[in-house]
Copies of this chain bind each other. A is one copy, B any other.
Amino acid sequence: MTEFSKYMSLSLMFLLVSCTIISSGEARIRRYKWEAKYEYKSPDCYKKLVITINGRSPGPTIRATQGDTVIVELKNNLLTENLAIHWHRIRQIGTPWFDGSEGVTQCPILPGDTFTYEFVVDRAGTYLYHAHYGMQRDAGLYGSIRVALPDGKSEPFSYDYDRSIILTDWYHKSSYEQATGLSSIPFVWVGEPQSLLIQGKGRFNCSLPSVGAGLCNATSPECSPYVLTVVSGKTYRLRIGSLTSLSALSFEIEGHNMTVVEADGHFVEPFVVTRLFIYSGETYSVLVTANQDPSRNYWSTSKVVSRNSTTPNGLAIFNYYPNHPKKLPPTIPPRGPIWNDVGPRLNQSLALKSHRNFIQPPPKTSNRVIVLLNTQNRVNGNVRWSVNNVSYNHPHTPYLISLKENLQNSFDQTPPPEGYDDSNYDIYSVAPNVNGTTSNSIYRLQFNSTVDIILQNANSMNNNTSETHPWHLHGHDFWVLGHGKGKFNRSTDPKNYDLISPIMKNTVPVHPYGWTALRFRADNPGAWAFHCHIESHFFMGMGVVFEQGIDRVGKLPSSIYGCGDTKGLLRP
């Protein structure tokens, strides 16, 4: 038995053990039993505690077909720490309580508890899951969800094989250490990540003098590079998700073009790139044909862009069968683009259009326009991120329960601002209002109304610095109507909105000193977070919450209760 086939049969066995498929008419039930716990892992050769699912990080891939019901019985076997898992891009229509956002849609899952998530995957495509509590995502709790089209339907492109990878960045400090630094006075920034992982594998330089003895093992099999094995002449659909904590990435496969065909689960009017820019929370499918010299292997790399990062590039091996998967390519790995060239990134954002045969036209007008100015502020001595000078704080009681049970004291009932003083605000200067406020107030949207969101980027607290923020909306996709440079102009910019074939996404970047315009229908009853997907930024307050149609939300399951003001409300 070769190593590869051994690996494959082990993987298959694991899949059979951890996932039971129960057929029920047309749609099926995909049932998973997961155990989350801490284990020592060395994903980049450096040993640290990682939250694993069934012993793995990334966790098991969920595979389902459109219309299936996914049931995940999640046992929290962390010792003293709670848990919540978000099913990224699942809209949770009719089940807003299973979105997995602690503080928004549920109480956290206690150690020893088994919490059952149950939801329908109503659309095909490439999804993600990850922890959504504190900064736990950084501890390695994440994975892929792959939903196939139903029988008889097919994508508007063809390929021979289908592969999934997740790109992350990786810190050696625990999520506690990071969070404590971020909320300390003086502020301690998490810094640049120690490494970039491709499908959970990276490589840290163990010989650096700062490394404590016995912590780093460069020969650990856990940190051998990820290998994507291909057969010459075949075309691969490569599903790429990013769940970086901080970093915007450029991804490439040495010598191979990539045709972008899917973005956040939607078919894209195809376009070819040599480098794919991808932000935390996004997914893409690209088609790659193994059409280069098959006698060698190639590098596949991820590189930090948008920050002047010290983090070395992530490296994987694009392996032409039957070359040995560990045979290093004869070349120097591609260095990737320079970090501060915004042009190509903006161009990729602008190039993303709905596939012509799959256009879902947006409403031509909206009922409400909310402008969200993204700034860094200082609140009570802490460095925070703010939206319209309000820095978001999770309430103690999840909104969904507060709203449904009418617990008016559980969060600030004052509506947050609809915009900022855009006629006087200079987005190119350090925020003049460095004394922001914190709040857990929310935007209440009229059910079925159409809402436009303008993400307005600005200067951070450092001179000549504006960061890229990938904003992620729970419970919905949105149309991306436009991206622009500078300050959004309410009169002129909307005239250039793409109302013909805009792409739909759930995560979108707002580029440095730029703006991004989105439109969505408030048609999913519940309470939904909308936040920067950078783990530290959301932790520092860069988010808002939207309520809509709360009166249409069904009976909440008792399993989401148990914290804050919901403790006494539990009913047998």
The residues of A with any CB-CB pair to B shorter than 8 Å are: 38-40, 49, 79-83, 107-108, 110-113, 133-136, 174-177, 179-181, 184, 188, 209-215, 396, 558, 561-564, 567-572
Per the bound structure, the CA–CA distance linking A17 and B175 in Å amounts to 32
Per the bound structure, the CA–CA distance linking A215 and B135 in Å amounts to 22
**Given A82-B80, A113-B563, A134-B80, CB of A184 within 8 Å of CB of B40:** yes
Q: Is the CB of B112 within 8 A of A564?
A: yes
Per the bound structure, the CA–CA distance linking A79 and B78 in Å amounts to 14
Q: Is the CB of B568 within 8 A of A569?
A: no
Residue of B38, B214, B570 near A570 (CB, 8 A) is B570
Per the bound structure, the CA–CA distance linking A213 and B213 in Å amounts to 11
Per the bound structure, the CA–CA distance linking A112 and B174 in Å amounts to 21
Residue of B211, B558, B564, B570 near A212 (CB, 8 A) is B211
Q: Is the CB of A176 within 8 A of B568?
A: no
Mostly helix, strand, loop or mixed at chain A's interface?
loop
Chain B residues within an 8 Å CB radius of A108: 80, 110-111
Chain B residues within an 8 Å CB radius of A570: 567-570
Per the bound structure, the CA–CA distance linking A568 and B567 in Å amounts to 10
Chain B residues within an 8 Å CB radius of A136: 80
A409 to chain B, nearest CB (A): 14
Per the bound structure, the CA–CA distance linking A181 and B39 in Å amounts to 8
Per the bound structure, the CA–CA distance linking A498 and B215 in Å amounts to 53
Residue of B113, B174, B210, B568 near A571 (CB, 8 A) is B568
Q: Which partner residue on chain B sits nearest A80 by CB separation?
A: B134
Per the bound structure, the CA–CA distance linking A563 and B133 in Å amounts to 18
27 CB contacts below 8 A, A to B, read: A39-B180, A40-B180, A49-B180, A79-B135, A80-B82, A80-B133, A80-B134, A80-B175, A81-B81, A81-B176, A82-B82, A107-B110, A110-B110, A110-B562, A110-B563, A110-B564, A111-B134, A113-B564, A174-B174, A210-B212, A210-B213, A211-B212, A558-B567, A562-B567, A568-B570, A568-B572, A570-B570
A491 to chain B, nearest CB (A): 44
What are the 6 closest A-B residue pairs judged by CB atoms, nearest first?
Answer: A80-B134, A210-B213, A212-B212, A112-B396, A79-B134, A568-B572
Q: Is the CB of A568 within 8 A of B558?
A: yes
Chain B residues within an 8 Å CB radius of A134: 79-80, 111
Q: Which partner residue on chain B sits nearest A112 by CB separation?
A: B396
Chain B residues within an 8 Å CB radius of A568: 558, 570-572
A148 to chain B, nearest CB (A): 34
Residue of B82, B181, B561 near A81 (CB, 8 A) is B82
For the A-B complex with A110-B110, A209-B213, A561-B567 known, give 17 more contacts whose Cβ atoms are closer than 8 Å.
Answer: A38-B176, A38-B180, A39-B184, A40-B177, A49-B174, A49-B176, A80-B133, A81-B176, A108-B111, A110-B562, A110-B564, A111-B134, A113-B396, A113-B564, A211-B212, A568-B570, A570-B570
A480 to chain B, nearest CB (A): 33
Per the bound structure, the CA–CA distance linking A567 and B568 in Å amounts to 10
A74 to chain B, nearest CB (A): 15
Chain B residues within an 8 Å CB radius of A210: 212-214
Chain B residues within an 8 Å CB radius of A564: 110, 112-113
A567 to chain B, nearest CB (A): 6
Per the bound structure, the CA–CA distance linking A133 and B79 in Å amounts to 9
Chain B residues within an 8 Å CB radius of A211: 212
Chain B residues within an 8 Å CB radius of A561: 567
Per the bound structure, the CA–CA distance linking A110 and B103 in Å amounts to 12
A515 to chain B, nearest CB (A): 32
Chain B residues within an 8 Å CB radius of A40: 177, 180-181, 184, 188
Per the bound structure, the CA–CA distance linking A465 and B38 in Å amounts to 31
Chain B residues within an 8 Å CB radius of A396: 112-113
Per the bound structure, the CA–CA distance linking A564 and B562 in Å amounts to 11
Per the bound structure, the CA–CA distance linking A31 and B133 in Å amounts to 32
Q: Which partner residue on chain B sits nearest A107 by CB separation?
A: B110
Per the bound structure, the CA–CA distance linking A180 and B51 in Å amounts to 11
A139 to chain B, nearest CB (A): 9
Per the bound structure, the CA–CA distance linking A83 and B111 in Å amounts to 12
Q: Which of A133, A180, A209, A210 has the most CB of B within 10 A?
A: A180
Chain B residues within an 8 Å CB radius of A107: 110
A184 to chain B, nearest CB (A): 7
Chain B residues within an 8 Å CB radius of A81: 80-82, 176
